């Protein structure tokens, strides 16, 4: 693990649950997402974690809605951001529907939650086929892990060949949405204890302690995902103006810690693809 390696900041600007009633600057439409992408790129982000909504404003994995958003963002920032779609179920989608979304969109990158995509042993077969297809197609998968026990499960899936990536990239999630447990930097340590030192990892943290947790990730050689999906507040407890303010905070933090910001090509390497893939 290189503690001074270039830092990849990924912005998660909206999430599946929040809307304009939570914060007026949460981007929903393709145009709003594109504008947010441009501002966050200028603030130091090199990746964007993307949720899209249907015509009623609800979370969706519809390929057409993803393509519209991706097209708008590309028109704004070109290939300067790695774009990652989510397969988050939010209690609405089956594992097969989640995989079908990636099959249909064929994005540059996608995030997948192990607990959602492989809820039991029988589901390993279809998941393994999906993982092999993604690897052969140059699609970078990021594995969402919510507990240290899930890290151990991912290790097992890699050792048995269910996950085809020899150096998987995980996102460690600290805290939970809503009234869940508060994010604390020390909660990162059990994840790292179970994680291979040769594999890339990122962190996201729910709530107003996000900056403290991000500081721990930056200092320990990880990468960071920030944005209104996880937290609407600045470190001083005041509401953040927009997503780019959250990104700018981590950019400044990286400088204080002696870690340069990654280029988009370096971000692709961390996430596991060399392709500036377009839809």
Which domain CATH number covers 252? 3.20.20.70
- Of 221, 220, 212, 279, the closest CA to residue 250 belongs to 212
Instruction: Report pLDDT for 279.
Output: 44
Helix (H, G, I), strand (E, B) or coil at 122: helix
Tell me if 278 is assigned to some domain.
no
Q: Give the ranges where 86-209 is alpha helix by DSSP (H).
A: 95-105, 114-117, 124-136, 148-159, 188-194
- What gap in Å lies between CA 211 and CA 235, rounded to an integer? 6
pTM of the model: 0.95
Tell me if 279 is assigned to some domain.
no
Q: What sign for the dihedral angle of Cα 232, 233, 234, 238?
A: positive
Tell me if 276 is assigned to some domain.
no
117 neighbors 87 (Cβ within 8 angstroms): yes
Instruction: Report pLDDT for 178.
Output: 65
Rg (the chain; Cα; Å): 17
Q: Which range of residues forms the domain containing residue 112?
A: 9-271
Ranking 41-55, 142-156, 226-240, 262-276 by mean pLDDT, the lowest is 262-276
Q: Tell me the average pLDDT of the chain.
A: 94
Tell me if 224 is assigned to some domain.
yes
Instruction: Report pLDDT for 274.
Output: 62
Tell me if 113 is assigned to some domain.
yes
Tell me if 189 is assigned to some domain.
yes
Instruction: Quote the number of domains for the chain.
Output: 1
pLDDT band of 176, cuts 50, 70, 90: confident
- What gap in Å lies between CA 203 and CA 234, rounded to an integer? 17
Tell me if 263 is assigned to some domain.
yes
- 101 φ, ψ (degrees, to nearest 5): -60, -45
- What gap in Å lies between CA 276 and CA 206, rounded to an integer? 30
pLDDT band of 1, cuts 50, 70, 90: low
Tell me if 277 is assigned to some domain.
no
């Amino acid at each position: 693990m290189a503690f001074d390696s270039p830092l990849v900041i990924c912005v998660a600007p909206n999430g599946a649950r929040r809307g304009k009633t939570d914060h007026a600057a949460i981007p929903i439409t393709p145009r709003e997402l594109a504008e947010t992408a441009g501002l966050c790129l200028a603030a130091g982000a090199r990746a964007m974690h993307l949720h899209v909504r249907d015509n009623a404003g609800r979370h969706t994995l519809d390929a057409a809605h993803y393509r519209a958003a991706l097209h708008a963002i590309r028109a704004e920032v070109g290939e300067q951001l790695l774009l990652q779609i989510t397969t988050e179920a939010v209690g609405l989608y089956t594992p097969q529907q989640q995989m079908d979304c990636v099959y249909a969109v064929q994005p540059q990158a996608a995030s997948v939650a192990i607990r959602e995509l492989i809820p039991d042993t029988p589901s390993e077969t279809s998941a393994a086929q999906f993982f092999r297809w993604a690897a052969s197609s140059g699609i970078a998968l990021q594995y969402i892990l919510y507990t240290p026990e899930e890290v151990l499960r991912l290790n097992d899936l890699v050792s048995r060949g269910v996950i085809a990536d020899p150096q998987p990239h995980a996102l460690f999630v600290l805290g939970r949405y809503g009234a869940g447990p508060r994010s604390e930097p020390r909660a990162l340590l059990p994840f790292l204890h179970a994680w291979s030192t040769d594999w890339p990892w990122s962190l996201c943290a729910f709530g107003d302690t996000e900056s403290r947790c991000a500081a721990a990730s930056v200092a320990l050689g990880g990468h960071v995902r920030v944005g209104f999906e996880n937290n609407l507040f600045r470190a001083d407890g005041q509401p953040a103006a927009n997503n780019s303010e959250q990104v700018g905070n981590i950019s400044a933090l990286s400088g204080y810690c002696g870690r340069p910001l990654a280029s988009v090509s370096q971000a692709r390497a961390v996430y596991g693809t060399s392709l500036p893939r377009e839809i």
